[in-house]
Amino acid sequence: MIIIDKIKIKHLLDDLDLLSSIREGFIDYSEGKCVIPPIGELLFKNPPGDVHIKYGYIIGGDYYVIKIASGFPKNEDNNISNGQGLILLFNQQTGEPIATLLDDALLTDIRTAIAGIICAEKFSNNIKNIGVLGTGTQARLQVQFLKLITDCRSVCVWGRNKKKAEKYKLDMSKYNFNVRIFDSPKEIAKNSNLIITATASETPLLKRKDINIGTHITALGADTPTKNELETSILKGADLIIADSISQCKVRGEIFHALTRNDIALDSVNELGSILSGSRKGRTSKEQITVADLTGIAVQDLKIAEAIYEKYLEVYQ
């Protein structure tokens, strides 16, 4: 079994077309070509943290994947990365373990950012201002990866910690983004037509009345049943609701909360892969408000892990 460390993984990432690969994974998933069991999950209170175990395979593919990824917010107090974890890749025909990717959750971060870019490219309108709730890893990566699809470099950011917001502004300026710090999520919504929510909030941060016509929201912070960044009336009033996985979003994420409150019906939810394949309609007018709820599915982990592994064989074997 090959062990690929984080240094090699970073090197290998430079030459991969992950956008196309992960887009194909979403389509495969929505076409019923994947076997993806429910997420395994451990939740901790002292210190707070969560661990997700995601696993699955594409029928007829070469590999299956098991990923363990965690987030422990208090880690930064001890100069330890909040994200931890690894990915295990197996031969689908024999069950043999073929690679361990010691990525410290880097690949989870990258594949999540790419999913956000896929949504922004498909559903946003002539991006004028990028609004961001949060100042952590995804608040950074989602914006950095937007360079692949838009020339917009204007960013509005809100974070609970003003010092972290100032650091975010400084760090993002190195990537040529002009960042303005705002005092509330409401102000972010009023000044943006693409909004990225990337916090661990358990109470809604955005309200329906604050959202501009034509806005697209990519919500990715609510990856457990207790987290919730959007007032459910936002989904109730949205013209298009997108789930990366309908089955997952029934039990976690923004869609879960809206379903629980009976603000939306399940048949109003569209799966991302179905829109990407053309079997379901996406945005049909500039005036529509669209919301993508990203809870993260194992096919993304499979696609990025197999890409790293196969590139490793080319470069190092």
**What is the percent of the chain with per-residue pLDDT over 90, rounded to a whole number?**
95
CA separation for the pair 269, 158 (Å, rounded) = 28
> CATH says 108-297 is which class?
alpha beta
Q: What token pair was written down for 261?
A: 């409150």
State the pTM of this model.
Answer: 0.95
Of 5-14, 76-85, 120-129, 163-172, the one with minimum mean pLDDT is 76-85
Can you give the pLDDT at residue 273? 98
Can you give the pLDDT at residue 81? 87
pLDDT in tens, 195-239: 999 999 999 999 999 999 999 999 999 988 999 999 999 999 999
Q: Please report which confidence band the pLDDT of residue 312 belongs to, taking 50, 70 and 90 as the band edges.
A: very high
Residue 157 contacts residue 132 (beta carbons within 8 Å): yes
Measured at the CA of 107, the angle between CA 151 and CA 225, to 5 degrees, comes to 95
Q: What mean pLDDT do residues 234-261 have?
A: 97
Q: What token pair was written down for 203?
A: 């109470």
Instruction: Provide CATH 3.30.1780.10 ranges for the chain.
Output: 2-105+299-316
2-105+299-316 CATH: 3.30.1780.10
Residue 252 contacts residue 224 (beta carbons within 8 Å): yes
DSSP designation for 37: P
**What is the percent of the chain with per-residue pLDDT over 70, rounded to a whole number?**
100
| Closest-CA residue to 271 (of 28, 77, 13, 88) | 28
pLDDT in tens, 108-160: 999 999 999 999 999 999 999 999 999 999 999 999 999 999 999 999 999 99
Can you give the pLDDT at residue 82? 87
Cβ burial 216-236 (10 Å sphere, 16+ → b, else e): bbbbbbbbbeebbbbbbbbbe
Look at 95 and 83; give whichever has higher pLDDT: 95
Residue 281 has pLDDT above 90, yes or no: yes
Can you give the pLDDT at residue 168? 97
DSSP-derived pairing of the beta strands 2-4 and 97-101: parallel
3-state SS assignment for residue 107:
helix
Instruction: Provide CATH 3.40.50.720 ranges for the chain.
Output: 108-297
Residue with tokens 């993304």: 300
Mean pLDDT for the chain overall: 96
Residue 317 has pLDDT above 90, yes or no: no
pLDDT in tens, 52-93: 999 999 999 999 999 999 999 899 889 898 889 999 999 999
Look at 183 and 81; give whichever has higher pLDDT: 183
| Closest-CA residue to 145 (of 181, 112, 168) | 112
